[in-house]
Structure 1
Amino acid sequence: MQQTNVAAYYGRRAAQDLGLIITEGTSVNREAARNDPKVPVFHGEEALAGWKKTVEAAHAHGCPIWPQLWHVGALPNPTISWRPSSPFESPSGAYKPSRSNGKAMSESDVRDCIEAFAKAARDAMNIGFDGVEIHGAHGYLIDQFFWDGSNHRDDHYGGENIAQRSRFAAEVIAAIRRATSADFPICIRLSQWKQQDFAAKLAPTPEAMEAWLRPLVDAGADVLHCSQRRFWEAEFEGSDLNFAAWARKLTGKPVITVGSVGLSGEFIAAFRGEASQPASLDTLMERFERGDFDLVAVGRALITDPAWASKVKAGQWESLTAFDPASLASLY
């Protein structure tokens, strides 16, 4: 982790009217938690000292900040040959049907992994972070437990229905609550889709969605970050409510919506090297004003332009810039 550059990167955005920063994914203390050596870690004195500087940079501008705690599970990075020192680990040794990678986690592995998340959250609280987000979306470890395409376990952490397959995530949340404090915010990022299968649907009905989300809320999740590729898309037939709106309706918890906010192209296009142009926020604001969601997450637009939020707040639409995929490789 380039401590000075990373702190400055987040500080630059904190100075521009953001209400909250959620960092990039940062791996918990498991040997196989990441699939790229450039992914920052959230353990060890040196890394935590760097993250503390990042907290201070955000707080200098009055902006709260949460780390996004992450474990990739069995999902490989096809663009590089690097592999972790231990085998990739996941519920059943696979990241999609008929695609194995690494090993199935033993019950001891599962317990140790839960503790790794809890330890990371405790460290986050101790160095001044204002809350934590758990990455439970997009086909990574926690999502691999949710999905029947990658979770074929016959123990406590598997099962035929989504409520049973939510136990690992619920135990991670409960362990974080025990390791922190009653008023320390815990957010979990969720998605129906995953990199392995854009059409995947963990919850095909509102009833199934409630069965998925209720164990997470009961375990102590305060906020649900509901990821879609396009935030305006309806989650179920017969209603125009998106994922976040349904999560709010079913649980009563605060929710974050996300998915191509302020840009013309969905974010997977960025990894194909495609640019996106600024887009209207009218639909977003209409949904916000009717109470569909509480917070809005912005990714690529802020990566390209640190002042995006300030420009939007001031109505400076003409000064918004297109998303350039090259910005993913810089720390400006």
Structure 2
Amino acid sequence: MPTLFDPIRLGDIQLANRLVMAPLTRNRAGAGQTPTPLMVEYYRQRANPATGAGLIITEATQISPMGQGYLDTPGIHSPEQVAGWRRVTDAVHAEGGKVVVQLWHVGRISHVSLLPEGQAPVAPSAIRAEGKTFTRNGFEPVSQPRALALEELPGIVDDYRRAARLAMEAGFDGVEVHGANGYLLDQFLRDGSNHRDDAYGGPVEHRARLLLEVMEAVTQEIGQSRTGLRLSPVTPSNDARDSQPQALFNHVAERLAPLGLAYLHVVEGHTGGPRDLSEQGASFDYAQMRQRFGGPWMVNNGYDRRMALEAVASGQADLVAIGRPFISNPDLGRRLREDAPLNVLDSKTLYGGGAEGYTDYPALEEATGA
């Protein structure tokens, strides 16, 4: 069996190893939600596959102004944003790395202060989520959304298609569609947030329609071999709830299989929290879903060195995505390979700010004096 440090091919994307830097929102975009030189350095530090990630998945990146849900998150819908991301991809490729952009529409997880002309967030149904978002005033409860009209949905699909095309113009190796963590596509999937009575609500087949239309549009635009997807079957993040997640996500996996995606990225358990939610009635058989999908399988959530090595060696997964340890350890790949100690994460600098807690974490030789 392969190891975490062996190469793998995802469609048209050849990776030097199977360690993936998971998408991590850091709220450091500049004016116009544009990537900054500081962001260029942040991704460059983690890009060399000899010491960092085989693949970087960028922070979630909104596909339109209405897709934004948090302060100072980057977009990929304007020429200035494309130019900013091109500087990031050039820096990653100069280090020998590979990078895909995560395409994001937050749906109802937003605040009127973040949206054009103070508009209400959009959602499958006019149901406010129990959650907060990050604004100029700090963390605030999300705003009451309005339900998207049926005639608006083709425009949402086109926004994803256009963002995928712009990602190729920006030099990305591919895209990952964000279908997880209670954001717009996940909101359509789940019966807790989708109470529609049209072709996009009701039975599982209808609730999965928008996600599948988006995936078909993106693969048609840039090719299936450069398109991935992230899902989180049982996470309660952002008030994501469904009465029958196993049936829902088994169906989604079956419908995705013919598309031949580069990979499926699955969050196990509560995103950024407990992996085992069986006590809350959220047990889930990921093997059922994987069997139905049939393609490259990326796992995520709380993986340490031992778990990551075992996941790949046992065949449980093809790749392992790790998040927060990559924040404080730009050379996480080297540290895992050598079983070296990790830098301690400063949680106070996660969201917003400058270089502190972003680009100033030391590499192994700096930390140890080696």
Question: 1:253: how far off?
Answer: 1.3
Aligned length: 301
- Which SS does the other structure have where 1:14 is aligned? coil
Q: Report the residue type matching 2:220 in the other structure.
A: R
State the match for 2:42 in structure 1: 9
Equivalent of 2:225 in 183, 200, 206: 183
CA distance in 1, matches of 2:211, 2:293: 16
The within-5 A match list for 1:122-271 is 122-161=165-204, 163-197=205-239, 200-201=241-242, 203-205=244-246, 207-228=247-268, 229=270, 233=275, 245-262=287-304
Q: 1:290: which partner in 2?
A: 314
Question: What displacement does 1:75 show?
Answer: 1.3
Q: How far, CA to CA, are the matches of 2:184 and 2:66 in structure 1? A: 11
> Which of 103, 128, 131 pairs up with 1:69?
103
Name stretches of at least 5 consecutive residues in structure 1 with no aligned partner.
263-280
Once the two structures are TM-superposed, the CA of residue 204 in structure 1 deviates from its matched residue by 4.2
Whether 2:145 is the aligned partner of 1:92: answer no
Structure 1 residue 243, shift from structure 2 partner: 6.0
Deviation at 1:244, TM superposition (A): 5.1
C-alpha contact 2:107 2:121 (8 A) present in aligned 1: yes
1:183 is paired with a residue whose SS is: helix
The alignment's TM-score, normalised by the length of structure 2, stands at 0.74
Q: Distance in 1 between matches of 2:245 and 2:149?
A: 30
Secondary structure in 2 aligned to 1:59? helix
User: Aligned Cα RMSD in Å?
Assistant: 2.6
Q: Which has the higher contact order (CA 8 A, sep 6+)?
A: 2
Cα distance change on mapping 1:193 and 1:231 into 2, 3 Å = closer
In the alignment, the residues of structure 1 paired with residue 178 and residue 277 of structure 2 have an alpha-carbon distance, to the nearest angstrom, of 21
| Aligned match of 1:331 | 358
Normalised TM-score (structure 1)? 0.82
Contact 1:192 1:202 in 2 (8 A): no
Deviation at 1:120, TM superposition (A): 0.5
What's the counterpart of residue 24 of structure 1? Answer: 59
* 1:107 aligned partner: 150
1:58 has 2:86 as partner: no
CA contact (8 A) 2:124 2:193 kept: yes
3-state SS of 1:66 partner: strand
SS in 1 for 2:265: strand
- For 2:336 and 2:274, how far apart are their aligned partners in 1? 19
| Distance of 2:91 and 2:68 partners within structure 1 | 26
**CA separation in 2, counterparts of 1:151 and 1:290?**
38
**CA offset digits 1:44-103 (Å, max 9, x no partner):** 1111000011001111111110000101101136xxx72312321111122449x98221
Q: Deviations over 1:159-205 (max 9, x none)?
A: 233x321110000000111111353233334342132447x456444
Aligned: 1:322 with 2:347: no
CA–CA distance in 2 between the matches of 1:7 and 1:243?
A: 39
User: Does the CA contact (< 8 Å) of 1:166 and 1:216 recur in 2?
Assistant: no
Amino acid at match of 1:248: R
- Deviations along 1:219-263, whole A, 9 cap, x unmatched? 4533111113379946889xxx9765443223211111111223x
Report how far residue 320 of structure 1 moved: 1.0
Could you tell me how far apart the structure 1 residues matched to 2:196 and 2:239 are? 20
